[in-house]
Amino acid sequence: MPFYMLTYSDFYLPRFKGNNMESLTFETCFANRHSIQITDFIFNEGGHNYLNQIIPEYKYFLNKYNPFNGFYCGATLKYLYAKSTNDGGPPYETEIDYGIGEGVIIGYQRTCFKHLVIDFLIGVGEDQILHVYRNFYSPYPDNNPFPDGRLALNIGYKF
């Protein structure tokens, strides 16, 4: 039977004044062993640095007797938007990056108390910056691919 899960988290990092992370995840499961999940991850560093990632994922559950529970493997894509501003004084330096990425994930998901879903995943992949806007000179290349790692713990409500 298909189900839907929604997870929201908002972390204020008190040791780093003005920094916070937010994440909203929606997951739908179908055909007893398949799942599509989409996550919007936002990191804001006191207004100077901003990162937004939209991450769709496909999961294939390895346990065929207990639907949507247990170990899974899958694939992930990523859309990346980042903005960094140095406002220490004129001239103000701004960099805006747009990129994409892909990777593989493995994880473990368990439903507890009929509605509480706990999901732990780890992934590796590669990101590629597609377009960079800068109002200053930088000697670094703009579009070299770079490795990407992912570690997540989702605690959600199953509808």
Tokens linked to 41: 């991850």
Conformational region of residue 32, where left means phi above 0, alpha means psi within -120 to 50, and beta covers everything else: left
CB atoms within 10 A of CB 29: 22
pLDDT digits (tens, 9 = 90+) for 112-121: 988 888 999 9
The whole-model pTM stands at: 0.82
The CATH number of whichever domain residue 63 belongs to comes to 2.40.160
The pair of structure tokens assigned to 55 is: 């991450």
Q: Which domain holds residue 128?
A: 4-158
Q: What CA–CA distance (Å, rounded) separates 56 from 41?
A: 11
The mean per-residue pLDDT over the stretch 31-57 comes to 88
What's the distance, CA 147 to chain centroid? 15
DSSP annotation of 54 reads E
What domain count does the chain have? 1
